[in-house]
């Protein structure tokens, strides 16, 4: 009788031990799952390779920016050490920031893109997204400068940007490396190929060009709801 009771107790304890062990393993797995980057664990080796290329490019650009800013700071410090004014440096900075933000026009080389046919706002935005990804420094659509907040919207036949209704055809001007911009837009499987599939009647012609100009924005970029956090 005693032996039977002891055996039963042993089985009960063994069952609890097994359940506790499985529980422990699952807790650890679950915690690791939560800690791991959910995005990275979902990427294939090919995606990771593309991501590494993108991160390398971006980090290279950021390093260049750090180098440029370091030079600016050294020049500024040297000028001040000599008792000279920082007016020239501020003016250069001001001109660059105003042009880059869209407050002033930008001139240079890049591409002209003539878009004709029945296209809607989202279709144009796909094209613009590709230009941005290819490093376009300034873009205008139908003569309207794109800045933060500018969206080409509307359905086929009535698309507009800011207060301008876009004609058919209309022109997109992008300042940037003509080779990179053209290559990115026209590559096999690129945005123009995709547009040809989704908008078969739309024609997009890309022409590399020098001496282009994109105008300044007509929009006020001064925030009226947000306050600077300095």
Partner 1 sequence: MTGLRARLRAVQTWQITLGLALLVLGFLIAAQLASERPRVRYTTQERSPLVDAVRELQAQQEDLKSAILGLRQEIQDGEGQGEGSALLVRQLNDQLQQARLAAGLVALTGPGVVFRLEDGTSGSSGSRGESIVTAKDVRTLVEELWLAGAEAVAVNNERVLAGTAFLDIGGSVLVNSAYLAPPYTVTAIGPANLYARVSASRGFVELYRVRTQKGGIVLTYAERDGLRVPAFAGTVNLSAGHPVPSATPSGPASDAPAGTP
Residues 169-208 that bind partner 1 (CB under 8 A): 175-178
Restricted to residues 125-154, the positions that interact with partner 1 (CB under 8 A) are 125, 129-130, 132-133, 136-140, 143-151, 153
The CA distance from 206 to 201, in Å, is: 16
- For residue 117, the SS3 value is coil
Could you say which of 10, 14, 93, 196 contacts partner 1 (CB under 8 A)?
93
User: In the bound complex, what is the minimum distance in angstroms from residue 93's beta carbon to partner 1?
Assistant: 6
Q: Is 165 in the site for partner 1 (CB under 8 A)?
A: no
Restricted to residues 46-65, the positions that interact with partner 1 (CB under 8 A) are 47-52, 54-59, 61-65
Q: Binding residues for partner 1, how many (CB under 8 A)?
A: 118
Could you say which of 68, 186, 193, 198 contacts partner 1 (CB under 8 A)?
68
Contact partners, residue 106, CB within 8 Å, separation at least 6: 99, 100, 137, 138, 175, 213, 214
The CA distance from 33 to 61, in Å, is: 33
Region near partner 1 per CB under 8 A, out of 82-90, 187-195, 199-207? 82-90
Q: Is 14 in the site for partner 1 (CB under 8 A)?
A: no
Cβ-based neighbour number of residue 191 at 10 Å: 21
For residues 162 and 218, the answer to whether their CB atoms sit within 8 Å is yes
């Amino acid at each position: 009788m005693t032996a039977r009771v002891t055996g039963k107790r042993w089985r009960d304890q063994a069952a609890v031990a097994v359940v506790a062990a499985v529980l422990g393993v699952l807790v650890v797995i679950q915690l690791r799952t939560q800690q791991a980057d959910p995005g990275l664990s979902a990427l294939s080796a090919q995606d990771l390779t593309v991501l590494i290329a993108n991160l390398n490019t971006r980090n290279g650009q950021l390093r260049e920016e750090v180098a440029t800013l370091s030079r600016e700071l050294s020049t500024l410090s040297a000028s001040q050490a000599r008792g000279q004014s920082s007016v020239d440096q501020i003016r250069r900075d001001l001109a660059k920031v105003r042009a880059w933000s869209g407050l002033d026009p930008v001139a240079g080389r890049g591409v002209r893109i003539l878009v004709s046919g029945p296209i809607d706002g989202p279709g144009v935005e796909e094209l613009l997204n590709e230009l941005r990804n290819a490093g376009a420094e300034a873009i205008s659509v139908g003569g309207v400068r794109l800045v933060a907040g500018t969206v080409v919207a509307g359905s086929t036949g009535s698309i507009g940007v800011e207060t301008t209704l876009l004609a058919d055809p209309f022109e997109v001007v992008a300042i940037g490396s003509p080779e990179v911009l053209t290559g990115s837009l026209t590559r096999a499987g690129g945005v123009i190929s995709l547009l040809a599939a989704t908008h078969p009647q739309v024609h997009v012609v890309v022409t590399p060009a020098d001496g282009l100009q994109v105008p300044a924005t007509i929009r006020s970029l001064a925030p009226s709801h947000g306050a600077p956090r300095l």
